[in-house]
Amino acid sequence: MVFRFQGRSSRGFCGIDFEENSDGEGHCLGIIQVNRVARVKKGWCLEMEKTVENFIYYLSIEKGLAPNTLTSYQLDLQQFYRYLQELQVGSWKEVSQGVIQGYIYSLQKKGRATSTISRHLAALKSYYQFLFTEGEVSRNPTSTLELPRLNRKLPQVLSVEEVDLLLNQPRIHTAIGMRDKAMLELLYATGLRVSEMIDLNLGDLDLEAGYLRCWGKGAKERIVPLGKVAVHFIEEYLAQARGKLVQGGFEVAFFVNHHGKRMSRQGFWKILKRYARKAQMDKPITPHTLRHSFATHLLENGADLRSVQEMLGHADIATTQIYTHLTRSHLKEVYTRAHPRA
């Protein structure tokens, strides 16, 4: 889907074409200009677009943020840009705290989730702090604004039996089925994010030692252990399936699609949905469901929180602690089932 964020510049009507795919990712297709209209300061559209490009470059190089995070920030800033154009604000440099508060209120009126609003405000705070540091603005209108308090929802997890049902869906006598089986087993065995899995290269797995190396958010490297079951199916994939998919070509990516190229997030998402339907799962299944299930099952079986935090690649242990609420629920169920006076 292509969106056009519209505005005016000294050279006429200005629009930025932005394409968004089915997975919510997007990129700028270019800037168009038609009809001579001059109602705002010269170069308004192009100047702001340039500062956004510089900001995204800064986040990528200096902060090492993941591509998906960069895309989200860029889309959020483009939406804020459109809001300013609708208000006919004279210059993005003159944005006040009240304008930003009005923007946040407009998102609330549209029914946006608190997490979405928080991300939009986080993008604006980071953007204006960057502009202030670079001397592009004389004040930061977001400096005293606080992020909305998030109501954390417990993540959806599968039982061990449900995981077994899902992971047994691929037909492993085919190259595609063997690849899918290896991917599903690896995700559940390691708790990797799907972006971390598809970014794996051939040299990142040491199957003999039972470890893999991946890069998470902020380009942080971590080492994650692999279980025997996952190692077995990954070895089968390498021996029987990957060569058939690559078809003699050279590809460094560990998991490849039917064209022999690196698997995409969208491609894996479609694969997972197909197997969830095949298994007749009555729960909503996403790639993160296996990650949540991995963490929850480890804690239920006695793993310590710090180790799970390390394997998940969480910078803050508070992020990992959400899974302790799930294990407490599990303990309550066990108690209710087993205690004679429950």
pLDDT digits over 88-136, tens only?
776 777 788 888 888 888 888 888 888 888 888 889 999 999 988 988 8
Q: Comparing 241 with 18, which gets the higher pLDDT?
A: 241
Tally of residues, the chain: 342
- Note the pLDDT of residue 253: 93
**300 C-beta neighbours (distance < 10 Å), count:** 16
Handedness of CA 77, 66, 201, 265 (dihedral sign): negative
Q: What average pLDDT is seen over the chain?
A: 78
Q: Comparing 281 with 12, which gets the higher pLDDT?
A: 281
**295 C-beta neighbours (distance < 10 Å), count:** 26
> What tokens were used for 329?
């629920």
Please, what's the largest Cα pairwise distance for the chain?
81
**Would you please indicate which residues are annotated as catalytic (active-site) residues?**
193, 217, 288, 291, 314, 323
DSSP letter at 201 equals B
What is the dihedral angle through the alpha carbons of 208, 164, 298, 214, rounded to the nearest 10 degrees? Answer: 40
Contact 176, 190 (CB under 8 A): no
Say whether pLDDT at 18 is over 80. Answer: no
Segment among 181-195, 209-223, 249-263 with least mean pLDDT: 209-223
Contact 95, 81 (CB under 8 A): no
Query: pTM (2 decimals)?
Result: 0.59
- Note the pLDDT of residue 224: 86
- Note the pLDDT of residue 117: 86
> What tokens were used for 17?
């074409």
Residue type, 135: G
Highest-pLDDT range among 65-69, 81-85, 257-261, 286-290: 257-261
4: β partners: 17
Say whether pLDDT at 316 is over 60. Answer: yes
What is the dihedral angle through the alpha carbons of 58, 263, 27, 72, rounded to the nearest 10 degrees? Answer: -60
Say whether pLDDT at 25 is over 80. Answer: no
Contact 107, 67 (CB under 8 A): no
Q: Give the mean model confidence (pLDDT) for residues 237-263.
A: 91
If we measure between CA atoms, which residue out of 67, 321, 320, 318 comes closest to residue 217?
Answer: 67
Map out the domains of the chain as residue ranges.
Answer: 2-133, 160-338
In 3-state terms the chain splits into helix, strand, coil percentages (rounded to 5) of 55, 10, 35
CA dist., res. 60 & res. 69, Å (int) = 9
Segment among 158-167, 280-289, 328-337 with least mean pLDDT: 328-337
Say whether pLDDT at 44 is over 90. Answer: no
> What tokens were used for 217?
């958010």
Segment among 162-166, 167-171, 173-177, 190-194 with least mean pLDDT: 190-194
CA dist., res. 46 & res. 14, Å (int) = 9
Say whether pLDDT at 4 is over 60. Answer: no
CA dist., res. 7 & res. 75, Å (int) = 16
Give, in order, the Cα–Cα distances in Å from 33 to each of 6, 43, 50, 89, 306. 10, 12, 16, 19, 54
Segment among 47-61, 78-92, 146-160, 218-232 with least mean pLDDT: 146-160
Q: Give the mean model confidence (pLDDT) for residues 38-48.
A: 53
Tokens 């022999």 belong to residue: 260
If we measure between CA atoms, which residue out of 252, 253, 256 comes closest to residue 175?
Answer: 256
Q: Give 13's pLDDT tier (boundaries 50, 70, 90).
A: very low
Q: Give the mean model confidence (pLDDT) for residues 326-340.
A: 58
CATH superfamily of this structure's domain 160-338: Intergrase catalytic core (1.10.443.10)
Say whether pLDDT at 205 is over 70. Answer: yes
Q: Dump pLDDT digits (tens) for 135-170.
A: 888 888 888 887 766 556 666 788 889 999 999 999
Tokens 């064209």 belong to residue: 259
